[in-house]
Structure 1
Amino acid sequence: MLGIFSKTTDSSFIEAIGLSGLDFVIIDQEHGPVQRERLYDHIRAAKAGQINPIVRVSGNNHNLIGSALDAGALGVQVPNISSAEEAKTAIDASRFYPIGNRGVCRFVSAASYGEKNKAEYFTESNKNLLILQVEGKEGVENLKEILSLKGFDILFIGPYDLSQSLGFPGQISHPKVKKEIMKIKDMAKSKNIRLGSFADTIETYQFLVNNGFDYIAYSVDINLFINGLKNLKSELCK
């Protein structure tokens, strides 16, 4: 699966990302400006563009995660998971019984405001993607316990935060950072857990693909827009 992060507040861009043929868009509430009301519009636009809307919530708690799923997100990405206890919190907030303890209200967008069959809604909702981000030394140290848990779908390595935690901020291609990524990859693969990460160069993307990562977010919509215009200017003004 290939997608991008989005930091725009214009839902037309979300729909356009879908029209590009990408698989998913991560609507970023951790490092982006999208608030709850705008989130609903973004999710509707993603579905109009036939792309999977994933929401990276700003924190690991029931209200933030439940609100994103109530709005119709088809997955949530939870940042800064450092322990099995934190992973359990994310699972609990994302899943209905018997997997978790997500707050129940069927009069929300995800349940067609009460029109969707109740049993169908609860069953379908538990199939939404839950992506856990591990991006620091503490998370890596506790990775064995995190990977032993059931109820999440993808382990996402945040390379920039990981590089900082290792003492090489921003140097995501540093040998020690790559070595740590490979260590995480091997542990996850031994448990048959899908892997995701972020790339902002073709070289990094190819490195991830070659190592079995199948959920890759390539760069950010606004930066891609800037670079597209730069390339256009370069071509037209030769």
Structure 2
Amino acid sequence: MPIRLTLPPTFRDRIAGSDRPQIGMWVSSGSPLVAEICAGAGLDWLLIDGEHSPIGLETMTALLQAVAPYPVTPVVRAPSGDVVVLKQILDLGAQNVLVPMVDTAEQARAVVRAVRYPPRGVRGVGSALARGARWNRVEGYMRDADRHVSLFVQVESATGVENAAAIAGVDGVDGVFVGPSDLAASMGLLGQQTHPDVTAAVLKTFEAVRGEGKPVGVNAFDPAAAQAYLDAGASFVLVGADVALLARESEALADRWIGEGSAAGDRAL
């Protein structure tokens, strides 16, 4: 007889079942080894980034396998809300999906349909072939698919901020993640994620999303900004990234042991 498997709780369930915000980091390197190291660090969640990274479908599968033995919750950011891409990401085993650049409720409804089987959606049926259903070893996977999948959408433009309440109110959207970097760019403040106008727009989004009864999260590498957003009611926050940690800490080693001037000179050669 085949083994009957169960899937872990979704990120939606983790947030709802916790009495504190969920703290996480980006995994952008594409290295399963690095992902496993991060998975064992004691964080609540990892964002496996399929948008701004070299991570494709095969690598994404390996990353999910690498972190699976740990209690951390992986969330996969899709490169877009494309129906085919979302189908592939779900089939390879992502239970928690973040879709970037959602500006309207209409776009939100489209991605909800993309992650649901017919008749409520348009997700292609291939569970017998897919890791997502553990090759049909998860009993009732298709029947209970909505319970096994959580969907978060990313608001990261001035248009998205204005439509945040309508986006959050879409049935099937489990939460909203605010991206201050692209938001700043859309406001004419490229690279100024902590500009007062940007933080005000983030907090406006918080209020709108929470008003719809949905959790809201944000990216904030700056510790002061992260704490301010937590104090403002963020339910989930990303506070670092594997590649950023490696870049800054390796630079710190060079500065300490070679000297800032020498290191800069060496890097210029």
TM-score by length of 2: 0.81
Q: Percent identity among equivalent residues?
A: 27
CA contact (8 A) 1:80 1:136 kept: yes
2:210 to 189, 195, 205: 189
User: Are residue 206 (structure 1) and residue 227 (structure 2) matched?
Assistant: yes
Contact 2:165 2:211 in 1 (8 A): no
**1:5 is paired with a residue of what secondary structure?**
strand
Residue 59 (structure 1) aligns with: 80
Query: What do the CA deviations read for 1:111-156 (whole angstroms, capped 9, x no partner)?
Result: 1112222x24541553422110011112122223212211111111
2:131 alignment partner, one of 109, 131, 134: 109
CA deviation vs aligned residue, 1:196-238 (integer Å, no higher than 9, x gap): 1101111111011101101111222111123334455667789
Partner secondary structure for residue 67 of structure 2: helix
What SS is found at the alignment partner of 2:249?
Answer: helix
Contact 2:105/2:166 (8 A) holds in 1: yes
Query: Secondary structure of the equivalent of 2:191?
Result: coil
Partner SS state of residue 48, structure 1: coil
Q: Which moved more, 1:210-219 or 1:138-147?
A: 138-147
Looking at structure 2, the residues matched to 195 and 49 of structure 1 have their Cα atoms a distance apart, in angstroms, of 24
* Partner Cα separation in structure 2 for residue 222 and residue 109 of structure 1: 28
CA–CA separation in structure 1 for the residues paired with 2:70 and 2:146: 21
Structure 1 gaps of 5+ residues are none
- Aligned CA RMSD, in angstroms, stands at 2.0
Other-structure match for 1:221: 242
In 2, Cα distance between the equivalents of 1:155 and 1:49? 25
Match of 2:17?
none
- Following superposition, the deviation at residue 100 of structure 1 comes to 3.1
Q: Is the 8 A contact 1:96 1:126 kept in 2?
A: no
Q: Assess, with a 3 A threshold, how the Cα gap between structure 1 residues 99 and 232 changes in structure 2: closer, same or farther.
A: farther
What corresponds to 2:163 in structure 1? Answer: 142
| TM-score, structure 1 as length reference | 0.91
Q: Which residue of 2 aligns with 1:180?
A: 201
Equivalenced residue count is: 237
Q: Is the 8 A contact 1:196 1:215 kept in 2?
A: yes
Distance 2:50 2:213 in 1: 29
Q: Does the residue aligned with 1:183 lie in a helix, a strand or coil? A: helix
Rounded Cα–Cα distance in structure 2 between residues aligned with 1:180 and 1:186: 10
- Does the C-alpha gap of structure 1 residues 214 and 90 become closer, same or farther in structure 2, counting only changes over 3 Å? same
In structure 1, how many angstroms separate the alpha carbons of the residues matched to 2:146 and 2:92? Answer: 12
1:153 to 174, 189, 213: 174
For residue 33 of structure 1, report the CA deviation from its aligned partner.
0.4
2:149 to 114, 128, 137: 128
Q: Would you say the 8 A contact 1:82–1:136 is kept in 2?
A: yes
From the CA coordinates, give the structure whose radius of gyration is larger.
2
Residue 189 of structure 1 aligns to which amino acid in structure 2?
R
Partner of 1:16: 37
- Preserved contact between residue 95 and residue 102 of structure 1 (Cα < 8 Å): yes
Q: Structure 2: where are the runs of 5+ without partners?
A: 1-21, 260-269
Residue matched to 1:46: 67
